[in-house]
């Protein structure tokens, strides 16, 4: 009985230290992220009128950043690509408009990115290694541009901004 009690007492600190280590590892995994927000579409349908707006406060203008889109689609998506209209408003009111085409599947029709249970997630770069010219609030408005009012099979879309090295 004493041996069992001593063994449990000896294992408690190890278990506590292990749990603390895991907790610290999870908290420190994504230190480069300064913003990330994802939006889910009801019934996995992105309507043309559903413009997504993300407001990001940038304070550090000396660091280099990556601007990334998180796209999640289902097996029901009938295209291999996704066209987007992107409208970026800078803190001074300057507006930059862009149109981008992203591949979601390869030439053989296999979905890119990670898949699980009929859903596929892909992180695609929008702007890499950029310095924001001014501190303040940047507004990103994204609209699907696939010429279909009801774009079936897109389940989520998100914006991520992370610090990176040169």
Contact 147, 78 (CB under 8 A): no
Which pLDDT score is estimated for 25? Answer: 47
CA-to-CA dists, residue 86 to 71, 118, 143, 145, angstroms: 14, 27, 7, 10
Query: Considering only CA atoms, which of 57, 41, 61, 59 is closest in space to residue 49?
Result: 41
Which pLDDT score is estimated for 30? Answer: 65
Contact 61, 131 (CB under 8 A): yes
> Using 50, 70 and 90 to split pLDDT, how confident is the model at 166?
confident
For 10-33, the pLDDT digits (tens) are 444 544 444 444 444 444 456 789
């Amino acid at each position: 009985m004493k041996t069992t009690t001593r063994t449990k007492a000896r294992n408690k600190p190890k278990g506590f230290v292990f749990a603390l280590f895991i907790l610290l590892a999870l908290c420190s995994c994504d230190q480069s992220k300064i913003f990330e927000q994802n939006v889910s579409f009801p019934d996995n349908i992105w309507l043309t009128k559903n413009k997504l707006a993300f407001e990001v406060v940038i304070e550090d203008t000396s660091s280099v950043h990556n601007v990334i889109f998180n796209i999640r689609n289902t097996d029901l998506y009938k295209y291999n690509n996704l066209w987007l209209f992107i409208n970026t408003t800078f803190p001074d009111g300057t507006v930059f408009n862009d149109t981008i085409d992203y591949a979601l599947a390869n030439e053989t029709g296999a979905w890119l990115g990670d898949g699980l249970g009929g859903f596929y997630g892909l992180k695609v770069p929008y702007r890499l290694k950029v310095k924001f010219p001014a501190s303040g609030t940047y507004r990103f408005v994204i609209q699907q541009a696939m010429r279909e009012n009801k774009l079936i099979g897109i389940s989520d879309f998100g914006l991520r901004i992370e610090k990176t090295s040169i």
